[in-house]
């Protein structure tokens, strides 16, 4: 069986934000075993799974990706929405918009130190929509 729903994440400023608990609270009832796919419906943000305990990981992600893909690079032609626009698209493409997580015992079956991040690459805060597909 396949079920699908949508979750709207609260507006967040630029950065790497743990959203695991928020998503878990919004998920529909999960089967005993199955798979959940979370798909972020945006081109300037991303979803990833990574270290969930030490907040310096989030700061290091932000520092590294901004060094790798800086704003105001003269090679960018797509700048109509501001200096963070094209870098946000590039960052989003590198990280991706989708994560799939196994379900066991009606819960997301992630590792002890794993969390789901919303990677917000735009400077202005905005709500983001996630399509949730549950396979059982």
85-131 pLDDT, tens digit per residue, is 999 999 999 999 999 999 999 999 999 999 999 999 999 999 999 99
Report the DSSP beta bridge partners of residue 118.
17, 47
Domain membership of residue 123 (yes or no) is: yes
Domain that holds residue 30: 14-135
Domain membership of residue 3 (yes or no) is: no
Domain membership of residue 76 (yes or no) is: yes
Q: Which residues of 18-31 are buried (b: 16+ CB within 10 A; e: fewer)?
A: bbbebbeeebeebb
pLDDT given for residue 61 in this prediction: 97
Residue 46, domain CATH: 2.60.120.460
Domain membership of residue 2 (yes or no) is: no
Question: What band does 76 get if pLDDT is binned at 50, 70 and 90?
Answer: very high
pLDDT given for residue 35 in this prediction: 98
pTM: 0.95
pLDDT given for residue 57 in this prediction: 95
Place of tokens 């960052």: 91
**For the chain, how many structural domains are there in total?**
1
Domain membership of residue 43 (yes or no) is: yes
């Amino acid at each position: 069986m396949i079920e699908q729903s949508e979750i709207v994440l609260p507006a967040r400023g630029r950065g790497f934000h743990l959203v695991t608990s928020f998503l878990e609270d919004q998920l529909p009832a999960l089967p005993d075993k199955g798979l959940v796919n979370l798909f972020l419906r945006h081109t300037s943000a991303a979803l990833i799974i990574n270290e969930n305990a030490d907040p310096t990981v989030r700061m290091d992600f932000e520092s590294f990706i901004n060094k790798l893909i800086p704003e105001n690079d003269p090679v960018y032609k797509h700048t109509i929405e501001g200096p963070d626009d094209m870098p946000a698209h590039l960052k989003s493409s590198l990280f991706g918009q989708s994560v799939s997580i196994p379900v066991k015992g009606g819960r997301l079956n992630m590792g002890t130190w794993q969390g789901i991040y919303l990677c917000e690459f735009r400077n202005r805060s905005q709500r983001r929509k996630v399509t949730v597909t549950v396979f059982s």
